[in-house]
Structure 1
Amino acid sequence: MSNVATIFARKGGFNHLTIDPEGTVLEALKIMADNNVGSVVVRDSEKYHGIFTERNYSRNVILKDRHSHDTKVKDVMTIDLPQLKMLDTLDHCMQTMSDYNVQYLPVTDGTEMIGVISIKDLIREQVHQQKELVKYLKNYISG
């Protein structure tokens, strides 16, 4: 059964994009656009603070008539998300995302933040598992 560690292995590591809490929303959006992602981790050199997502932008900047160039990420980011562990199953991850109505969750190893899992990562892993099962069943049937 797949878990968070399996997803990170397929993704090729624990890479995640970051921005300092004092960074502007515009800077975060540029990082996201340049890397074709929907979130960035908000952290300084010492600690994880939260996650800034496209949803944060639409709900906390656009709808509140703020300006991207002078709004700090720390003022609109998502904080206090549940944290996943490396051995958490896909089912647990999906249930947690569903329960909290989020598309991104931080992954920690003890107290250290090591990455982010997205709903897209979970779907990719589910598709991969299904392909492997079909391949196995085809081989089994054809003997």
Structure 2
Amino acid sequence: MHSVAQLLKSKRETTVYTIAPTDTVLEAIKRMAERSIGALLVMEGDRVVGIVTERDYARKVILKGRASPDTPVRDIMTSSVMYVRPDTTNEQCMALMTENRLRHLPVMEGEKLVGLISIGDLVKDIISEQQFIIEQMEHYIRGER
């Protein structure tokens, strides 16, 4: 069972992409599209104040007839952001994401943002961990200790 800290160390892309609450939804969607990501953390200075996702865009802009260039991110962001600590296990993260239907979790150390993990990061890590266990069991069964 890996911790979030271990998962973050193994990620190829460690940049956490952000946006200000006063920026437009159009700017948020452009940033997500440019980087092929599904969410941006909304920051005021060093403080996480929300998260904006493609799902927010679909449900709170398109379906409500709003205009992306005229709508500030703060109007559609999710402001109650769940987060995890570096010592949280991948299994605890998976349970939290499943229970709350989340796809992204900021990683906080005290008040400081240290990373962001996605459901894809977790699935990849869990599959890798299970593959390692399978290989070890195969070696054991064949007597190749």
Report the TM-score when normalising by structure 1. Answer: 0.92
Deviation per CA, 1:36-56, whole angstroms, max 9, x where unpaired? Answer: 110111113232111110111
Cα distance between partner residues in 2 of 1:123 and 1:20: 29
User: Structure 1, unaligned stretches of length 5 or more?
Assistant: none
Tell me the TM-score normalised to structure 2 length. 0.91
Correspondence list, 1:64-83, <5 A = 64-83=64-83
Task: Report the alpha carbon displacement of residue 136 of structure 1 after superposing the two structures with TM.
Answer: 1.5
1:2 and 2:2 equivalent?
yes
| Structure 2 runs not aligned, ≥5 long | none
| Matched residue count | 143
Residue 116 of structure 1 corresponds to 116
- The CA RMSD measured in Å over matched residues stands at 1.4
Indicate if the aligned counterparts of 1:14 and 1:114 stay in contact, CA closer than 8 A.
no
Residue in 2 that maps onto 1:48: 48
Q: Is the 8 A contact 1:5 1:87 kept in 2?
A: yes
Percentage identity across paired residues of the two chains: 37
Runs of 4 or more consecutive aligned structure 1 residues displaced over 6 Å after TM superposition:
none
Give 1:84 deviation, angstroms. 0.3
Residue type of the alignment partner of 1:56: D
Aligned ranges for residues 78-117 of structure 1 at < 5 Å? 78-117=78-117
